[in-house]
Amino acid sequence: MKRRIFLGAGIAGLSTSLLSSCTASTDSKEEKAEVKQNTLIAGNIIHQVYFWLKEGITPEEEKDFLEFFRILKTVPGIKSIDIGKPAPTNPRPVVDNSFSYSITVSYEGIDEINVYEVHPIHLDAVEKYKKYWTKVEVRDTVVIDV
């Protein structure tokens, strides 16, 4: 009987704890998504870059490559920046998950991205870390209001 009470109390405590952490986690993600969604307005620029890393780079080299993104975060004029890897979405003809990493940067407008493109921090970082990739694709978009 004591064991049942102990297990029951433990399970009840665990479910309450899990429910609380799930709720907190969900709220946090929703709040972040809401903030990000509301920060982009018509005229903002979205700069998306996809990187294909060389075959056979070591974990240490890949870790070093990630420093590239940390450096890019310091370039002035960036509104937001997100770094990611391909999502394990269902294969479809329109989905290309062949890249290794991507970076999505937003700017207030064209002036800010024009500064970023030629900024010494950006150019020096590209020069230092380009040894790790075989291919890079860039897609720049102007946010529109519909």
* Domain count for the chain: 2
The answer on 81 and 35 residing in a single domain is: no
The pTM is what? 0.72
The answer on 60 and 10 residing in a single domain is: no
For 13-43, letters b (16+ CB in 10 Å) and e give: eeeeeeeeeeeeeeeeeeeeeeeeeeeeeee
The rounded mean pLDDT for the chain is: 82
The answer on 118 and 71 residing in a single domain is: yes
The answer on 53 and 114 residing in a single domain is: yes
The answer on 74 and 26 residing in a single domain is: no
- Residue 32's pLDDT band (boundaries 50, 70, 90)? very low
Strand partners, 50: 102, 137
- Give the pLDDT confidence score for residue 11 in this predicted structure: 35
| CATH number, position 50 | 3.30.70.100
The answer on 74 and 35 residing in a single domain is: no
